[in-house]
Amino acid sequence: MLFQKKIVLIGGTTGIGLSAAQSFVRQGAKVVALGKDEETSLRALEILGKNAHILTADAMLEDTAEQAIAKCLERFDGFDGLYHVAGGSGRRFGDGPLHELTLEGWDKTLQLNLTSVMLSNRAAVQQFLKQKTGGAIVNLSSALAYAPAPQHFATHAYTAAKAAIIGFTKSIAAFYAGENIRANVIAPGLVESPMSQRAVENEEIMEYVRNRQRLDGGRAAQPQDLDGMASLLLSDNGAFITGQVVAVDGGWSVAG
């Protein structure tokens, strides 16, 4: 088994998060997975089995991550790592190109994608400091944070949030390294998930994606493509890795 850890997954009942939770459980971990609605939570519980506990709550609320960590301590007698996947498009709120971006779109997109990360990371760090055990945090950013795609993915509040996650994670990695608290970022390109259906169902966009993500014949990533890196960064095999941004993007960030 790669690791026998107790992990809290924020956004762990669908897509990237659910795939990670399945991978972690297969490798011997105990998982508390947070989802945003009852239907996906029930389905995740069926899939993950006895070594997982599912919570249904809003990641943007201040005490949600604290509750998830408390449940991990109660149910599995420990807390070793946090994987924050939760986030999403802000298009429905008014995100888009800057000249069309609304204040509501900006505020809600940052709350969904950045404030939720701050809240979960704060709760994790507070618990790690209390335990005096160290611990690991992995946050999900995006290749869009540093490799834009203006023709098809011009959501500037979302991009700002994902770029901020990188700076935020590096800063906490530096500050808490002496406490043996590690913090790293995974930055994927386009991943086929519930969030990406607009792109996946558009052939013009997918042709663009295949030309940027050229590995494996050119394709969208699948959620499981991220699982190996998440496992490494949360396990003892990643014990000397902190403050890093790892692109799991099929070549997006180096495409011409």
* Closest CA relative to residue 70, chosen from 93, 84, 53, 51: 53
pLDDT at 230: 98
What average pLDDT is seen over the chain?
Answer: 95
Q: How far apart (Å, rounded) are the C-alpha atoms in residues 45 and 48?
A: 5
Domains in the chain with CATH codes: 6-248 (3.40.50.720)
Tokens matching residue 79: 């807390």
pLDDT at 208: 94
pLDDT in tens, 91-125: 999 999 999 999 999 999 999 999 999 999 999 99
Q: How far apart (Å, rounded) are the C-alpha atoms in residues 94 and 104?
A: 7
Kindly report whether the global pTM for this prediction surpasses the value 0.85: yes
* Closest CA relative to residue 191, chosen from 225, 233, 147: 225
pLDDT at 93: 96
DSSP 202-253: -HHHHHHHHHHS-GGGS-PBPGGGGHHHHHHHHSGGGTT--S-EEEESTTGG
Q: At what angle do helices 64-76 and 116-131 cross, to 10 degrees?
A: 40
pLDDT at 194: 78
* Closest CA relative to residue 186, chosen from 35, 69, 83: 83
pLDDT in tens, 162-177: 999 999 999 999 999 9
Per-residue pLDDT of the chain (256 residues; tens, 9 = 90+): 557 899 999 999 999 999 999 999 999 999 999 999 999 999 999 999 999 999 999 999 999 999 999 999 999 999 999 999 999 999 999 999 999 999 999 999 999 999 999 999 999 999 999 999 999 999 999 999 999 999 999 999 999 999 999 999 999 999 999 999 999 999 999 999 877 788 888 899 999 999 999 999 999 999 999 999 999 999 999 999 999 999 999 999 999 7
